């Protein structure tokens, strides 16, 4: 009996010795953690959007934004004066632009841009990546994961993404955005990690594009704070009253 126990212990030891050192990587879980570290599920933020032209000329916009859950996000333009009072609303794949003194909100698309520059409406009103994309492949590099993402539907702005993720912080450091043809549309760079709500998050997102050579756009967050507001805020009827929830 004792001999059999010794043999069993040796066998188990060999199994553990040659077993994989870690469980297989779960790309979906990594992507969800990236989303959680980029922004809370429901929050308010103040951010500055800066468009830079090849000549060096700049145009800046200040936005107040509130997001709720996986499919609702609304933004109010605070400056410049020419844009003040404008607001955008996104519900899932549907987007609208509200302009004061205009009869009703107008529909806009993800590939348009309410501010011009390299960022489009999908970038400015971004939902969590795991809502819009599936992880098709994951590669493990020295200090980063490389995720290959595929859009879940044709309504998503980019058909494919390549996302580099810092292993330790589980934060995206760079994302390449591709069309269905394989054309590189733009690259996003996540920089200047700062604590927001006790979580280390990128405070700056920069982008450039081979389609807009010499142009650059930047989003800089001044604050990101958890906040939950009523669903009424995310309706067409409320777009003219977003200022009241600040």
pTM of the model: 0.86
The total number of residues written for the chain in this structure: 246
Other C-beta atoms lying within 10 Å of the C-beta of residue 152? 12
pLDDT at 141: 87
What pLDDT sits at residue 14?
Answer: 43
Q: Residue 103 has what pLDDT?
A: 74
What per-residue confidence (pLDDT) applies to 24?
56
Residue 197: predicted pLDDT: 84
- Its sign, for the CA torsion 39, 91, 110, 56, is negative
pLDDT at residue 16 in the model: 40
Structure tokens given for 103: 């009869």
DSSP 173-236: EEEEEE-TTS-EEEEEEEEEEEEETTEEEEEEEEEE-TTSTT-EEEEEEEEEEE----GGGGSG
* Domain ranges for the chain: 24-245
Residue ranges in the chain modelled with pLDDT below 50: 2, 5-6, 8, 10-23
The third-level CATH classification (topology) of the domain covering 24-245 is outer membrane lipoprotein receptor (LolB), chain A (2.50.20)
Q: What is the pLDDT of residue 198?
A: 85
Residue 5 has a pLDDT of 45
């Amino acid at each position: 009996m004792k001999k059999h126990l010794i043999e069993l212990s040796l066998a188990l030891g060999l199994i553990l010795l040659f077993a994989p050192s870690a469980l297989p990587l779960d790309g979906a879980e990594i992507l969800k953690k990236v989303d959680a570290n980029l922004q809370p599920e429901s929050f308010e933020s103040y951010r500055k959007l800066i468009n830079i032209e090849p000549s060096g000329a700049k145009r800046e916009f200040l936005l107040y934004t509130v997001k709720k859950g996986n499919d609702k996000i609304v933004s109010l333009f605070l400056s410049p004066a020419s844009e003040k009072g404008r607001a955008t609303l996104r519900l899932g794949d549907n987007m609208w632009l509200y302009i004061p003194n205009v009869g009703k909100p107008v529909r806009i698309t993800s590939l348009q841009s309410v501010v011009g520059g390299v960022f489009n409406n999908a970038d400015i009103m971004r939902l969590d990546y795991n809502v819009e994309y599936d992880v098709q492949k994951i590669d493990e590099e020295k200090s980063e994961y490389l995720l290959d993402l595929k859009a879940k539907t044709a309504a998503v702005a980019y058909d494919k993404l390549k996302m580099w993720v810092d292993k330790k912080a589980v934060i995206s450091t760079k994302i390449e955005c591709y069309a269905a043809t394989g054309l590189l549309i733009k690259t996003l760079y996540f920089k200047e990690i700062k604590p927001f709500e006790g979580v280390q998050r990128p405070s700056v997102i920069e982008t450039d594009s081979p389609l807009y050579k010499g142009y650059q756009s930047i989003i800089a967050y001044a604050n990101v704070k958890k906040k939950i507001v009523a669903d009424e805020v995310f309706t067409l009827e409320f777009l003219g009253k977003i200022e009241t929830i600040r």
